[in-house]
Amino acid sequence: MYLEILLATSCTALTLVSFKLYIKVTTGLCKSQVCLKGKTALITGANTGIGYETALDFAKRGARVILACRDEKRARQACNQIMKETNNTDVVYKLVDLASFKSVRKFAEDVNNTEERLDILVNNAGAGRLGNQRTEDDLPIILQINYFSHFLLTNLLLDLLKKNPSRIVNVSAIGAKLGNIDIKTLTVYKGDSDQYITSKLCQILFTIELSSRLQNTNVTSYSLHPGVIKTEIFRNLEAWKRRLILFLIEIFYKTAPEGAQTQIYCAIENGLEKYSGQHFHDCKVVSRYKSARDPELAKAVWEESERIVGLTR
């Protein structure tokens, strides 16, 4: 009996180690040596996780980096840490609350009035497990933070983006595969998981329609799945669930620097313009999920989003 238990334990351990090695081997890495000196990049949710790692990478490449964050203390700390690590003093933070369209509009106005150019926009900020909270705009908070505010922000910054060849990178998730959008009930709360999945599918559909509308311009757009990563997105889970998930992720999934690789790749890799509107994972183009293959749905989501955010431009 002891030998059987030892053998079973050894087999389990070997399987887990093999899986961990597989994850490490298949994780895509951005190997581009592109220099970003003279360019400006803006990343939402840049004070932590993959947003922070993306901002850090851009700063190392010499870019002017704008951290778009909600919490001033944490934004300032992240900004100072990036400058310390990179010796790049052209790193700033600007405050924005993605749960408020008023805040997004004020933020966009500030960027448009103070920045001469914007070469990279990474719509990275995300939230989960916030329950059936409604924002001041009377929308489910997860859907507004993850999607609607990024939709509004992107459109408000388009004129600045069009001044130079630029890229828009929308961070989605593999959970979008499970999405099933009904325009009539798009903003109806059906649970945290549904809201999160819907928001991430909307990001992909937004990318597709945005790319179509930006044809014959010098602006391109990309969506991506960064992988399952140890980030603060799980901070609102019950304590025991959070500990279990983070334990598993710590062992088997990506670190924040690894998780940032695909959005860095989409933002800087040479020659990606022909893939505008496409979806990426592990630094390569992947097939669109079945849930995101209907161009009419992408158009319908865009039009409904314009109505919801009050976009008149």
The residues assigned a catalytic role are 196
Cα 65 to Cα 71, 82, 111, 219, distances in angstroms: 17, 10, 12, 19
> 67 and 75 in contact (C-beta within 8 Å)?
yes
Cα 83 to Cα 76, 136, 200, distances in angstroms: 11, 35, 31
103 class by beta-carbon count within 10 Å (0-12 exposed, 13-18 middle, 19+ buried): middle
Cα 207 to Cα 244, 280, 288, 305, distances in angstroms: 33, 12, 11, 13
Print burial letters for 264-278: b (CB count within 10 Å at least 16), e (below 16): bbbbbbeebeebbbb
Q: How far apart are CA 289 and CA 280, in angstroms?
A: 11
Backbone angles phi, psi at 67, to 5 degrees: -90, 115
Beta bridge partners of 40: 64
Q: How far apart are CA 240 and CA 99, in angstroms?
A: 28
Four-residue CA torsion sign, 46, 52, 55, 59: positive
Q: How far apart are CA 176 and CA 172, in angstroms?
A: 7
Q: How far apart are CA 98 and CA 101, in angstroms?
A: 7
